[in-house]
């Protein structure tokens, strides 16, 4: 039997989101219904509302969530009823050409629930990133549920489901930051600060935070930045070089999604250094024009990072343990907790740069 719960829906492009009654089917084969405890407000939710992802309105927003498995469908072996889980948008298939090469973290055939959640009148909802967790409950593929230690606070653990994992992974997994490296992170919102925290955990020697907002640079210092650069007051590339003995950083992380910033990362890098691009560009943006001889002559690597190249089943439980042992301050990302109907206001705070993460707690 289906059930009716509350959810936050974006009905039309650019319109404020609204609290609606949504219909959740019972889980079918391979599916699970999860009772949501907490869900972070991510820029991607706003991109959906703005029509920047696709036009499949109405969207059921929310995708950075933790909760309890309420029911499971036939054949589900990944989780059991009552498990505390973080939801992921990389449920790997195990059989595509990448999975078979032993690289499930870049699975080309990830999946979501087969059945649809709907509005009361039967209109099919498009869940954000196949999750849709600004809701009392949501229906997902069981593979989207990653069991973690239930001692973690849901509002902190849920953030691993998207932004924090993307940033941490951009530094540690995609960028391969290790002991003694110099790192520069451009853009110090949730993703950028997670990259800074990751670089610190990995043993980076110098971590330079670059942003246009002093408030965000103060957060970056709290997460482990050793130097800060306000790009509105000084040349960011020059400043990164100055803080790295004139050479540039071993790893530069672009956490904004802007061609100009990507270009700065390219030139703020030491010879043979790595640029990681984790900020999400909009579809109109084009790559910066860089002389090919510079690309060739400097060596190194330019690497896009999707979801921080994470493998949820490996990385979520590990990072939750690091958090519980006091080695990774996941709670610091939570600027405020808000009720389910506070999402629209949280979008405005996010646009004004006032919060790292607003987190819906149910």
The nearer residue to Zn ion, 283 or 326, going by C-beta atoms, is 283
For helices 214-223 and 190-201, give the axis angle rounded to 10 degrees.
30
* Residues 6 or more apart in contact with residue 261 via CB below 8 angstroms: 186, 187, 254, 279
| Block residue for tokens 């994470």 | 310
Of the chain, the end-to-end C-alpha distance in Å amounts to 23
For residue 279 the two structure tokens come to: 């900020």
The nearer residue to Zn ion, 162 or 310, going by C-beta atoms, is 162
Asked if 46 touches Zn ion (CB under 5 A), the answer is no
Q: Per CB under 5 A, which of residues 59..98 are in contact with Zn ion?
A: 93, 96
The nearer residue to Zn ion, 239 or 255, going by C-beta atoms, is 255
Binding mask 287-326 for Zn ion (x = CB under 5 A): ----------------------------------------
Q: How far apart are CA 127 and CA 98, in angstroms?
A: 26
Shortest distance, position 186 Cβ to Zn ion, whole Å: 19
Which H/E stretch holds residue 263?
helix 259-267
Asked if 100 touches Zn ion (CB under 5 A), the answer is no
Q: How many CA atoms lie within 13 A of 259 on its CB side?
A: 9
For residue 238 the two structure tokens come to: 């020059």
Count the residues of the shown chain that bind Zn ion, applying the rule CB under 5 A.
8
Residue of 8, 42, 210, 265 that binds Zn ion (CB under 5 A): 42
Asked if 109 touches Zn ion (CB under 5 A), the answer is yes
Residue of 5, 86, 162, 210 that binds Zn ion (CB under 5 A): 162
Binding span for Zn ion by CB under 5 A among 106-114, 173-181, 274-282, 327-335:
106-114
- Are 166 and 307 within 8 A, CB to CB? yes
Binding span for Zn ion by CB under 5 A among 29-37, 44-52, 188-196, 232-240:
44-52
Q: Which is it for the CA torsion 240, 249, 212, 356, positive or negative?
A: negative
Binding span for Zn ion by CB under 5 A among 40-48, 259-267, 304-312, 327-335:
40-48
The nearer residue to Zn ion, 107 or 125, going by C-beta atoms, is 107
Binding span for Zn ion by CB under 5 A among 6-14, 35-43, 196-204, 245-253:
35-43
320-331: string of b/e by CB count within 10 Å (b at 16+)? bebbbeeebebe
Q: How far apart are CA 86 and CA 318, in angstroms?
A: 12
Peptide bond into 58 cis (omega under 30): yes
Shortest distance, position 176 Cβ to Zn ion, whole Å: 23
Strand, coil or helix: 64: strand
Shortest distance, position 213 Cβ to Zn ion, whole Å: 20
- Are 223 and 191 within 8 A, CB to CB? no
Binding span for Zn ion by CB under 5 A among 48-56, 100-108, 272-280, 290-298:
100-108
Residue of 9, 32, 99, 346 that binds Zn ion (CB under 5 A): 99
- Binding residues (CB under 5 A) for Zn ion: these are 42, 44, 93, 96, 99, 107, 109, 162
């Amino acid at each position: 039997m289906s059930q009716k719960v509350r959810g936050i829906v974006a009905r039309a492009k650019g319109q404020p989101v609204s609290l609606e009654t949504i219909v959740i089917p019972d889980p079918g084969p391979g599916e699970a219904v999860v009772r949501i405890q907490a869900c972070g407000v991510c820029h991607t939710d706003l991109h959906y509302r703005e029509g920047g992802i696709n036009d499949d309105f109405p969207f059921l927003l929310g995708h950075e969530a933790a909760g309890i498995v309420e029911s499971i469908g036939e054949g589900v072996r990944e989780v059991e009823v009552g498990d505390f889980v973080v939801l992921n948008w990389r449920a790997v298939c195990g059989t595509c050409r990448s999975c078979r090469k032993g690289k499930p973290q870049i699975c080309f055939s990830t999946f979501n629930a087969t059945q649809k959640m709907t509005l009361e009148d039967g209109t099919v909802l498009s869940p954000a990133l196949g999750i849709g967790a600004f809701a009392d409950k949501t229906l997902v593929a069981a593979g989207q549920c990653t069991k973690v230690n239930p001692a973690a606070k849901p509002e902190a653990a849920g953030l691993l489901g998207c932004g924090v994992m993307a940033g941490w992974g951009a530094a540690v997994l995609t960028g391969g930051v290790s002991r003694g490296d110099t790192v520069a992170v451009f853009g110090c919102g949730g993703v950028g600060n997670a990259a800074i925290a990751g670089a610190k955990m990995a043993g980076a020697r110098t971590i330079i935070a670059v942003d246009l907002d002093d408030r965000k640079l103060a957060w970056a210092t709290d997460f482990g930045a050793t130097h800060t650069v306000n790009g509105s007051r000084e040349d960011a590339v020059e400043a990164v070089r100055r803080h790295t003995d004139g050479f540039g950083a071993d790893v530069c992380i672009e956490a904004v999604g802007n061609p100009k910033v990507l270009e700065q990362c390219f030139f703020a890098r030491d010879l043979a250094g790595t640029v990681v691009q984790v900020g999400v560009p909009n579809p109109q943006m084009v790559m910066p024009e860089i002389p090919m001889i510079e690309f060739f002559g400097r060596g190194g690597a330019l690497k896009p990072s999707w979801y921080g190249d994470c493998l949820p089943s490996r990385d979520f439980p590990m990072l939750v343990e690091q958090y519980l042992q006091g080695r990774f301050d996941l709670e610091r990302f939570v600027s405020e907790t808000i009720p389910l109907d506070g999402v629209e206001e949280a979008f405005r705070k996010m646009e004004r740069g006032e919060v790292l993460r607003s987190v819906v707690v149910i």
